[in-house]
């Protein structure tokens, strides 16, 4: 029998002083949204005349909080809190994933939606940024309860999503099946099949070949490009990976196929290490069966905090946000960090890594492969004409390489980090679109 309960609502806060920002819009209230605001502040001096529009980036266009009640298998009714935030739609419909996780907050979803705005603009796909989530531990739900949760949430946010309005996709703890339920629910409420309302769908429902591996392939692609720029031979590189799902696992597999040695992997269950290199295909099989790297026979178990001190050339954080912070950034022994996750590095850690000469490939370009192939899926759904996987991968690699090299040149020109360079390019595109469109009325 499953158990679920709605998180207690926070007690009301004192009314803010007139003109004061709400706490979730205040840069001093760090959290994910505060981190994003700091990143915008760092890029503002490089925006020229467009800086007059910068407040556009600091305020989400629309935030929807919904109650998601479902009947559990035992007959009781449970309530969950759901979110959908549309950060910016100046360049096109909102685009971003939906995550089911017990720690989802409004601040997190707001930040993730904003990073999607930056990410989409950085690779120059015609989307704005959006994100969604439900505060729930999906491991406590049966398959039937998960379906009912997904369908009710989709109905609740149905007033603001749509193929030309806002297009959800998979994220943490959601997958193609969840997207199929979302598509079906939206279609039933509309009275016609709308395959383009979500991406990351099963192939038989209008999904795209190459979508599942796209984020990890993008991580690999920009990693190889960056390695070329700093003179790092990928075929001789030592690699460590945090998170071993569709992002970390796929990236590790591609790097291993290129000759790199994956010496340590960490996930929610623990950390495994092997100096001679882990057998990545066998580890992927182990994770598929056991849902964690813990217990992998061909690797040594080490303490989780030791992971950050493993000698390596490349570190790929591909789990959750805030994993690299001021407490562990000084211990990292990598030449390059490729952010497979969204927001895995805090601003303080960013500064520490930069001072130590560690090259950071920011999430807003490094993990943009997923949304790029989501764009391909959306285009294919509208045209009802589908490409083969080789064409998908070739288009993805071409876009990712072009985007990364433009960012690299911008970083060299302004003598800034790759993260700031990415924000310069993306924010310029977003705010130029805002300026051209003007204000209505």
Is 179 within a domain?
A: yes
Q: Which of 16-25, 102-111, 206-215 is least confident?
A: 16-25
pLDDT at 13 over 70: no
pLDDT tens per residue across span 161-200? 999 999 999 998 999 999 999 999 999 999 999 999 999 9
Phi, psi of 134 (to 5 degrees): -130, 135
Distance of alpha carbon 230 from alpha carbon 235, whole angstroms: 14
What is the residue range of 217's domain? 213-366
Q: Looking at residue 22, what is its pLDDT?
A: 53
- Are 149 and 65 contained in the same domain? yes
Which residue intervals of 191-279 are DSSP H helices?
211-230, 248-257
Give the mean pLDDT of the chain.
92
- Are 245 and 330 contained in the same domain? yes
The domain tally of the chain equals: 2
Q: Looking at residue 7, what is its pLDDT?
A: 38
| Confidence band, pLDDT 50/70/90 cuts, at residue 17 | low
Phi, psi of 161 (to 5 degrees): -105, 165
Is 390 within a domain?
A: no
Q: Looking at residue 25, what is its pLDDT?
A: 52
Domain stop point among 338, 366, 394: 366
CA 82 to chain centre: 18
Q: Catalytic annotation on 165?
A: no
Domain stop point among 351, 366, 381: 366
Is 150 within a domain?
A: yes
- Are 226 and 192 contained in the same domain? no
Is 268:245 a contact under the CB 8 Å cutoff? Answer: no
- Are 193 and 240 contained in the same domain? no
| Confidence band, pLDDT 50/70/90 cuts, at residue 121 | very high
CA 227 to chain centre: 22
Angle at 340 between CA 268 and CA 213, to 5 degrees: 95
- Are 180 and 235 contained in the same domain? no
Mean pLDDT of 302-327: 93
Is 270:304 a contact under the CB 8 Å cutoff? Answer: yes
Q: Which of 31-40, 66-75, 129-138, 430-439 is least confident?
A: 31-40
Mean pLDDT of 7-25: 45
pLDDT over 90, % of the chain: 89
| Residues 6 or more apart whose Cβ sits within 8 Å of residue 77 | 69, 70, 71
pLDDT tens per residue across span 360-414? 999 999 999 999 999 999 999 999 999 999 999 999 999 999 999 999 999 999 9
Q: Looking at residue 31, what is its pLDDT?
A: 82
Q: Looking at residue 274, what is its pLDDT?
A: 96
Is 439 within a domain?
A: no
pLDDT at 336 over 50: yes
- Are 250 and 353 contained in the same domain? yes
CA 342 to chain centre: 4
- Are 124 and 219 contained in the same domain? no
The helix/strand/coil state of 241 is: strand
| CATH number where 264 lies | 3.40.50.720
pLDDT at 72 over 80: yes
Q: Looking at residue 80, what is its pLDDT?
A: 98
Is 296 within a domain?
A: yes
- Are 192 and 254 contained in the same domain? no
Distance of alpha carbon 141 from alpha carbon 23, whole angstroms: 33
Report the sign of the C-alpha dihedral through residues 95, 163, 178, 285, in that order: negative
- Are 125 and 232 contained in the same domain? no
Distance of alpha carbon 46 from alpha carbon 203, whole angstroms: 43
Domain stop point among 154, 179, 201: 201
Is 251 within a domain?
A: yes
- Are 222 and 347 contained in the same domain? yes
| CATH number where 175 lies | 3.40.50.10860
Is 232 within a domain?
A: yes
pLDDT tens per residue across span 220-263? 999 999 999 999 999 999 999 999 998 999 999 999 999 999 99
| Residues 6 or more apart whose Cβ sits within 8 Å of residue 172 | 97, 99, 100, 101, 320
Catalytically annotated residue among 95, 119, 131, 201: 131
- Are 92 and 167 contained in the same domain? yes
Is 403 within a domain?
A: no
Half-sphere exposure of 102 (CA within 13 A, CB side): 7
Is 66:83 a contact under the CB 8 Å cutoff? Answer: yes
Q: Looking at residue 342, what is its pLDDT?
A: 87
Phi-psi label, residue 371: left if phi above 0, alpha if psi -120 to 50, beta otherwise: alpha
- Are 362 and 217 contained in the same domain? yes
| Confidence band, pLDDT 50/70/90 cuts, at residue 320 | confident
């Amino acid at each position: 029998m499953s158990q679920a309960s709605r998180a207690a609502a926070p007690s009301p806060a004192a009314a803010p002083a007139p003109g004061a920002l709400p706490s979730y819009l205040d840069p001093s209230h760090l959290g994910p949204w505060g981190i994003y605001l700091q990143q915008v502040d760092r890029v503002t001096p490089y925006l020229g005349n467009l800086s007059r529009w910068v407040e556009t980036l600091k305020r989400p266009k629309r935030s929807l909080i919904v109650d998601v009640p479902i009947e559990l298998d035992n007959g009781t009714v449970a309530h969950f809190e759901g979110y959908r935030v549309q950060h910016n739609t100046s360049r096109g419909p909102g685009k971003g994933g939906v995550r089911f996780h017990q720690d989802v907050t409004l601040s997190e979803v707001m930040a993730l939606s904003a990073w999607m705005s930056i990410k989409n603009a950085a690779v120059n796909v015609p989307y704005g940024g959006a994100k969604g989530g439900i505060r729930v531990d999906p491991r406590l739900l049966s398959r039937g309860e998960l379906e009912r949760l997904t369908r009710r949430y989709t109905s609740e946010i149905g007033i603001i999503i749509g193929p030309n309005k806002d297009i959800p996709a998979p994220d943490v703890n959601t997958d193609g099946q969840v997207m199929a339920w979302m598509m079906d629910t939206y279609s039933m409420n509309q009275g016609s099949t709308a395959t383009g309302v979500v991406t990351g769908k099963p192939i038989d429902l209008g999904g795209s070949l190459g979508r599942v591996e796209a984020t990890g392939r993008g991580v690999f692609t920009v990693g190889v490009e960056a390695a070329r720029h700093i003179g790092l031979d990928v075929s001789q590189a030592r690699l460590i990976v945090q998170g071993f799902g569709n992002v970390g696992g796929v990236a590790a597999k591609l790097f291993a196929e290129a000759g790199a040695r994956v010496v340590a992997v960490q996930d929610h269950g623990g950390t495994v290490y092997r100096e001679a290199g882990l057998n990545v295909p066998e580890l992927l099989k182990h994770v598929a069966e056991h849902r964690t790297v813990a217990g992998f026979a061909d690797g040594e178990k080490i303490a989780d905090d030791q992971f950050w001190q493993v000698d390596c050339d490349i570190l790929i954080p591909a789990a959750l946000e805030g994993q690299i912070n001021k407490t562990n950034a000084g211990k990292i022994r990598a030449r390059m960090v490729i952010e497979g996750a969204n927001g895995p590095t805090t601003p303080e850690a960013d500064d520490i890594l930069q001072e130590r000469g560690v090259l950071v490939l920011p999430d807003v370009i490094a993990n943009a492969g997923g949304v790029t192939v989501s764009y391909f899926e959306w285009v294919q759904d509208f045209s009802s004409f589908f490409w083969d996987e080789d064409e998908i991968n070739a288009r993805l690699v071409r876009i990712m390489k072009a985007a990364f090299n433009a960012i690299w040149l911008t970083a060299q020109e302004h003598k800034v980090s790759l993260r700031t360079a990415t924000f310069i390019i993306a924010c310029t595109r977003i705010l130029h679109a805002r300026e051209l469109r003007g204000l209505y009325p």
